[in-house]
Amino acid sequence: MLNKPSGYADYAAITAFSLAWGTYLLKGKAWDRPDPYHHVWFEKPQVSDAAASDGVKETRDISQKLQETNNQIVIFWGSQSGTAEGFAHRLGRECHSRFRLHALVADLSDYDMETIEHITKETLVVFIVSTFGEGDPSDNTAGLWHWIRSAKASLNNMRYIAFGLGNSNYKYYNKVVDVVAESLNAHGAQQLMPIGKADDAKGATEEDFITWKENLFDYFKRNLGHQEYDMVYEPSLLVEPDTSLELIDLHQGEPVLEAKALAGSSAIRPLLIKDMRDLFDTTADRNCLHVELDLSDFPEIGYKTGDHLSIWPSNPNAEVERVLDQLGRLHEADVPVLIKSLDGSKVKIPTPTTLSALLQYYLEICAPVSRETAAQLARFAPTKTSRLFLEDVSRNRSRYSAFLAATHITVGRLLEISTRSEPTTWSSLPLAFLLDVFPVMRPRHYSISSSSVVSPRTPSITAVVSQATIPDSIGGQITIPGLATNYLLAHHVKDKNGYSLLGPDAALEGRRVYAQIRKSKFKLPALASQAIIMVAAGTGIAPFRGFIQERARMQRVGKACGKMILYFGCRSLEEDFIYREELAQLQRVLEDQLSIVTAFSRHEGKKIYVQERILEDSERISSMLIEGNANLYICGSAAMAREVNNTISSMIQNVKGWTDGEMKDWNETKKKTRKFQEDVWG
């Protein structure tokens, strides 16, 4: 027979025992839980922040920074893809090499924008800013964009010059640089030169920058009294071998990003390719890949319908070997190298690393070579013949355009062609020069073509593998192979010779790619009952596949869905009507809630585009947009989006009898309330 507890001592002992037993049972649940990110301690860091690592906190006051560095020029850059950033650094280096002027190249997001008010009139201010989407500023321009349009600052001491990057296929071509200049002028700043503008739609971004830069330097001489000197190459980086480094110390090709570059995105992870198929099964010369990735190994990563998936490609093996061979450094491919900044700027390339990792994973060695780069290469030419060739081909814009039109020239191929008559190596070409002219490798972003409700752990993308063409200045076309899509195609056909599919240190073994999820505002309305109109051409159908999948799932579980119309344009019914059978099946589920209208541009000798189908359907579209307040979505090329925009605006304006101003107000209200969304590219 058990004894009953008696007295406070017995009760205290029982209580203590119960607490201890309960605590033990809750181990791993309420306490001592395993850290899901414990593995991160054993990984190489993905986030590089030099300022944090050395304990030095950089000032966010640009006027203070200029006083500390004693620079005569500050070049602010706002860039989404890296082009404006590259131009800013090139301009800064050339200001010093040609005029001995010290320039601070500044990321707009590194400084508090209200401090530009204190920049003295002795400092020349240059803005190089890009416009993307429908008149949107780059992410790092957001601070300037909001401050300059709302601040009550006095900028009477500011002297500035501005250059914008844009694409005339978009409705608001170079809007950002225009707004920045108008706002600066309104606050009393002095604009020294007309605004320079680059137009990517004409393939003229590089040449437009060169023309503007030469006009700027002419202004330096004529109006500001600066003396021009003979140009001497001044590297911004020091690249030196260090054989004392061990393999474990090196960045071997894994993507590395600064913390602010990861904003709005997941971590970069080696994601398994779960499925991959070619949607153009009847077309021999074109491929359209449907790629499904598996998030199962990384529970911390998720996505939402309408988000983007970013793929980190690698360069083709042949191009890597070509550059190493031309430099005479094939035997040094795996020698560890350290990269250090010589001008105080941040080193954008992971270091320490190796030459092979630099050329395979960290630099865009397949990018077209600018005319200016070709001219600069001439000074390092190993023979007189190669020097004369480079000087001749880069002499003027039309000559170089004709040269590019004949072949897609990478740096490796240019070095090879220039010495073809007298084979030799470019052993005197500094590695630092290549790091200055090669863009840093960046991911390629794709609209996710699946629904997170239907496939929560397997996001998919849809990508056409094609030889992209851009117009040259003499009416021809320059062919440029797509880097990421050909990299994905190599995975599909298992071309291990063409690309390093195993990745750095075999991290991508088992058919994986480095990828990350990037958040997007391109979303379905919160209410499933809201009517939506979707307009797409080609792979622009990708996010709408996810939208329709999600609505079909809602329909299956008994949730009422609003009306949907999909206008889809492609070449022909047989050639590239992607997801045709799947869309038919979804239409059977959604019945009369989904209407699909097609436009074929190469079918039975006729050319019909989506905007024409919309015009034919004007009564229904007008009713849905005006009376029904439907959401409008456009995804595809900027040129297509512009035509669709114009067609719908003209149609609504005629129905309502509005003025141009009233039509503009309606459009802007639609966009501000997220009732009109676009996901377009150049």
DSSP string of 88-141? HHHHHHHHHHHH---EEEEEGGGS-GGGGGG--TTSEEEEEEEEETTTEEPGGG
Residue 51's pLDDT is 37
Give the span between the Cα atoms of 107 and 88, in whole angstroms. 10
Name the architecture of domain 532-681.
3-Layer(aba) Sandwich (3.40)
Average pLDDT, the chain: 88
Q: Which residue has the higher pLDDT, 274 or 17?
A: 274
Give yes or no for residue 18 having a pLDDT over 70.
Answer: no
The Cα angle at residue 103 between residues 209 and 142, in degrees rounded to 5:
65
Q: At what angle do helices 660-672 and 638-656 cross, to 10 degrees?
A: 120
Q: What is the DSSP letter of 5?
A: P
Give yes or no for residue 20 having a pLDDT over 60.
Answer: no
Detail the DSSP E strand segments found in 529-616: 532-537, 564-570, 594-600
CB 531 within 8 A of CB 624: yes
The amino acid occupying position 408 is: H
The contacts of residue 249 (CB under 8 Å, 6+ apart) are 336, 352
Residue 42's pLDDT is 35
The contacts of residue 138 (CB under 8 Å, 6+ apart) are 78, 79, 80, 84, 129, 130, 132, 176
CB 106 within 8 A of CB 61: no
The label of the residue with tokens 């004409």 reads 202
The contacts of residue 56 (CB under 8 Å, 6+ apart) are none
User: Which pLDDT band, with edges at 50, 70 and 90, does 475 fall under?
Assistant: low
Q: Which residue has the higher pLDDT, 472 or 121?
A: 121
The contacts of residue 645 (CB under 8 Å, 6+ apart) are 171, 634
* Domain spans of the chain, in order of start: 62-222, 532-681
Q: Residue 627: what are its φ and ψ, rounded to 5°?
A: -75, -40
Mean pLDDT across the stretch 309-327?
Answer: 96
Cβ neighbourhood burial of 157 (10 Å; 0-12, 13-18, 19+): middle
What is the number of residues in the chain? 682
Give me the DSSP letters along 166-204.
E-TTSTTTTHHHHHHHHHHHHTTPEE-SPPEEEEGGGT-
Give me the DSSP letters along 338-395.
EEEESSSPPP-S-SSEEHHHIIIIIB-TTSPPPHHHHHHHGGG-SSHHHHHHHHHHTS
- What are the CA-CA distances from residue 12 to residues 5, 9, 20, 295, 411 (Å)? 10, 5, 12, 51, 81
CB 394 within 8 A of CB 374: yes
The structure's pTM equals 0.86
User: Which pLDDT band, with edges at 50, 70 and 90, does 239 fall under?
Assistant: very high
Question: How far from the centroid of its chain's Cα atoms is residue 423's Cα?
Answer: 38
CB 562 within 8 A of CB 532: yes
Give yes or no for residue 392 having a pLDDT over 80.
Answer: yes
Intra-chain end-to-end CA distance of the chain, in Å: 87
Give yes or no for residue 140 having a pLDDT over 80.
Answer: yes
Detail the DSSP E strand segments found in 564-675: 564-570, 594-600, 631-637
Mean pLDDT across the stretch 97-103?
Answer: 94
Residue 616's pLDDT is 95
Which helix (DSSP H) or strand (DSSP E) does residue 513 occupy?
strand 512-518
Strand, coil or helix: 252:
coil
CB 458 within 8 A of CB 294: yes
Give yes or no for residue 56 having a pLDDT over 80.
Answer: no
The contacts of residue 380 (CB under 8 Å, 6+ apart) are 426, 428, 429, 430, 433
Mean pLDDT across the stretch 154-180?
Answer: 92
CB 385 within 8 A of CB 421: yes
Write out the two tokens for 101. Answer: 């002027």
Give yes or no for residue 52 having a pLDDT over 80.
Answer: no
Q: Residue 129: what are its φ and ψ, rounded to 5°?
A: -130, 145
Write out the two tokens for 455. Answer: 């496939």
Please tell me the least confidently modeled range out of 31-45, 83-97, 616-630. Answer: 31-45
Residue 136's pLDDT is 85
Cβ neighbourhood burial of 246 (10 Å; 0-12, 13-18, 19+): exposed
Give yes or no for residue 387 having a pLDDT over 70.
Answer: yes
Give the span between the Cα atoms of 416 and 419, in whole angstroms. 6
Q: If you count DSSP H runs as helices and E runs as strands, how many of each does the chain have, helices first? A: 22, 23
| pLDDT tens per residue, range 637-648 | 988 999 999 999
Instruction: Write the CATH number of the domain with boundaries 62-222.
Output: 3.40.50.360
The amino acid occupying position 346 is: K
CB 218 within 8 A of CB 192: no
Asked, colleague to colleague, whether 62-222 and 532-681 share their fold, the answer is: yes
Instruction: Tell me the longest C-alpha to C-alpha distance in the chain.
Output: 110
Give the span between the Cα atoms of 328 and 315, in whole angstroms. 19
- What are the CA-CA distances from residue 372 to residues 200, 334, 400, 405, 515 (Å)? 17, 30, 10, 17, 33
Mean pLDDT across the stretch 160-165?
Answer: 96
| pLDDT tens per residue, range 415-455 | 999 999 888 999 999 999 999 889 999 999 999 999 999 99
| pLDDT tens per residue, range 558-588 | 999 999 999 999 988 888 899 999 999 999 9
Question: How far from the centroid of its chain's Cα atoms is residue 578's Cα?
Answer: 25
Share of the chain above pLDDT 70, in %: 89
Which helix (DSSP H) or strand (DSSP E) does residue 292 occupy?
strand 287-294
The label of the residue with tokens 């062919």 reads 479
Residue 10's pLDDT is 55
How many CB atoms within 10 Å of residue 318?
Answer: 12
Residue 35's pLDDT is 42
Residue 201's pLDDT is 84
Residue from 242, 341, 246, 261 nearest 48 by CA: 261
User: Which pLDDT band, with edges at 50, 70 and 90, does 29 fall under?
Assistant: very low
Detail the DSSP E strand segments found in 406-510: 444-447, 460-465, 467-471, 477-481
- What are the CA-CA distances from residue 157 to residues 48, 116, 120 (Å)? 36, 10, 6
